[in-house]
Structure formats: structure tokens, C-alpha cells
Amino acid sequence: MPFLELTLPCSEIQQPRYEHALEDVGALAITLADAHADAPDEQAIFEPGVGETPLWGEMVLTALFPAETPEQLLLHALAAVDVELDWSRAQFRQVEDQDWERAWMDQYAPLQFGHRTWIVPWNHPLPEGADAADAAVVRLDPGLAFGSGTHPTTALCLQWLDGLADEGVLRGARVLDFGCGSGILALAALKLGADSALGIDNDPQALLATHDNAERNGVGDRLAVCLPGDETPATYPVVVANILASALIALADTLAARVAPGGRIALSGILAGQEDEVLLSYEHAFEQLQVERLDDWIRIDGVRRH
């Protein structure tokens, strides 16, 4: 069915009030976008730090309503909810519905990482190669976000895990996925031979996504999730952290303490140019540190000192 789309600019400070008013009058969905997405100095927002919910300073807010909603009556209702907000800049248009899952599927084909790791939409047929007996196939739900393997930071980690499987390191291992997002890395590790995995994330929605994806992949009994600080202290032979460089630096001692002596770690989410500071934060606890680059992103991996 078609929808009535309302679009208006707002600031980061005003955003919560605008969103509250739109929800009050029955918005079906609300999305945010950078108002300066095409600017050369536009800053992308990836995964926030613990306790942070970063937004752009200026943004465009879009809300969907049933197509038959009268525009002027909607504006009057919004003004009644919050008379101090400027609703005069709101613009309307009718948008046609579409099969969003099908559209997602059309732009997201199965992806291969390393020798045998595949990320495949849950209702997509297995491509040639992913049906091999030794293939490690992770099925993801198109409706869940937080990581699908298409971003270089995730791709670098998936390639690393596939390489560990080739070395036999993952066989029977316990894996820690710090900043798990969709759980894609923990799921790949389990499919590649790990015995169990723990996913940690500061976003409860990410933990829900990880849990749902684990159930869909038939490994729900082998993948646990929790918020930072809620886990039972333990060490792991394999740790992967795909977060931001600033968080990796701040958590260097915490992550180092999670890696068993002789264990492996992969650190990703690092922009090119940030790797030296991250290396400096980890070289006291790790040896054989290596840097791998994909596009503008860096992965650092190494071995825990005994």
C-alpha cells in the first residue's frame, strides 16, 4: 500500500522532541539521515562507544503515515503536541510501497570470504561453492541490521576467521566476539569449527539480533550474549573486536585480559592512519602483530604473549 511521507530538517538537540511528537500522532516509521550527506567533510557514524548514541548535528527526519492521512490536519495535530517546534518546513509526498525484503535481496548477493566462509541471506538459494561439504554458511535475516559482511571491517574479520579455520585454530575453541552487532563473526566462527561463542555488545538490539541469527543458524545453544561487564570473567583462545579505534584503545587492557596465553586476537574498525596508535596500545601484550588493509580500513591481529 502507498504511504504519506513527511520530511523535515532538524537539529540534534531538537530531534528527540520532533520524534516524540511524530510518534504521538501515529507515525508508522521514523528514520534519520545526515542533512549534509553529500558534503566532502561529512562524518559517517558507525558503531558508537559504550553509553553513546551519536547523531549528526543537522539531520533530515522522515516519517511515514497511512496514505489517506490529511496533511493539514496532521500538521495541526503535531503543532498541538509541541507548539514550540517549527512544523512549517515539513514537506509531503506520496510514496509507493514495495517488497522491501525483495529489494534488499536484489542488492545483497551471497558473499564468500577466504576459502569456505559464506554469508547468505536466509531465503536465498545457496550459490555454487556454498553447497560444498566443508563450506561454512551463515544465514542472515534481511530484516536485521548491525553487519552483513559488506563493510570492509567485517570482511577483514571474516577473512581472518577463515584463515584460523585453515590452521585448525578454531576447532573446538571458545570465541569472544566483542561488539558483536548481528553476531556475524561469532556465527562464522561456530560454523568454521568453534565449540562455543560469547557475543558482547552495548546495544540491546544488537544482542537480540545476534540471538535471532543464532537460532536461525541452528547454533542458539552454543552462542551466548550479554552486555559489557555482565559476562563471567574468562579467557578465550580466539577474540575478535570489530569496533572503533578509539574504543579499541580504551579497551586495550580489558581485551588483552580476555585472550588466553598464546591465543589470537583480531582488532578491526580502524581507519587507515589510526593503526599506529592501536598497535602501540597492544604491543605490550601481543606479539606477531600484523596489519591488513582493505580499502580505507585496517585489521590488526596478533598472538597473546605468554
Q: Give the pLDDT of residue 147.
A: 53
| 154 belongs to an annotated ligand binding site | yes
All residue ranges of the chain with pLDDT < 50 are: 37-55, 100-101, 104, 143-146
- Note whether 300 and 151 are same-domain residues: yes
How many domains are contained in the chain?
2
Q: Give the pLDDT of residue 28.
A: 87
The verdict on residue 76 lying in a domain is yes
The verdict on residue 61 lying in a domain is yes
The verdict on residue 106 lying in a domain is no
Final residue of a domain: which of 97, 127, 160?
97
Q: Give the pLDDT of residue 181.
A: 87
- Note whether 61 and 209 are same-domain residues: no
- The set of cell numbers assigned to 227 is 552486555
| 62 belongs to an annotated ligand binding site | no
- Residues 153-180 as b/e (b if ≥16 CB within 10 A, e otherwise) read bbbbbbbbbbbbbeeebbeebbbbbbbb
Q: Give the pLDDT of residue 99.
A: 52
Q: Give the pLDDT of residue 37.
A: 46
- Note whether 70 and 202 are same-domain residues: no
The verdict on residue 120 lying in a domain is no
| 242 belongs to an annotated ligand binding site | yes
Range of the domain at 300: 147-304
Q: Give the pLDDT of residue 103.
A: 53
Q: Give the pLDDT of residue 152.
A: 87
| 123 belongs to an annotated ligand binding site | no
The verdict on residue 160 lying in a domain is yes
Q: Write the CATH number for 79.
A: 3.30.70.260
- Note whether 175 and 295 are same-domain residues: yes
Q: Give the pLDDT of residue 95.
A: 84
The verdict on residue 124 lying in a domain is no
- Note whether 175 and 43 are same-domain residues: no
Q: Write the CATH number for 298.
A: 3.40.50.150
Residue-by-residue DSSP string for the chain? --EEEEEEEEETTTHHHHHHHHHHTT-SEEEEEETTTTSTTPPP--SPPTT-----SEEEEEEEEETT--HHHHHHHHHHH-TTS--TT-EEEEE----HHHHHHHH---EEETTTEEEEETTSPPPTTTTSTT-EEEEE-TT--S--S-SHHHHHHHHHHHHHHHHT-STT-EEEEET-TTSHHHHHHHHTT-SEEEEE-S-HHHHHHHHHHHHHTT-TTTEEEE-TT-SPP--EEEEEEES-HHHHHHTHHHHHHHEEEEEEEEEEEEETT-HHHHHHHHTTTEEEEEEEEETTEEEEEEEE--
Q: How far is the C-alpha of 120 from the C-alpha of 117, rounded, in Å?
A: 10
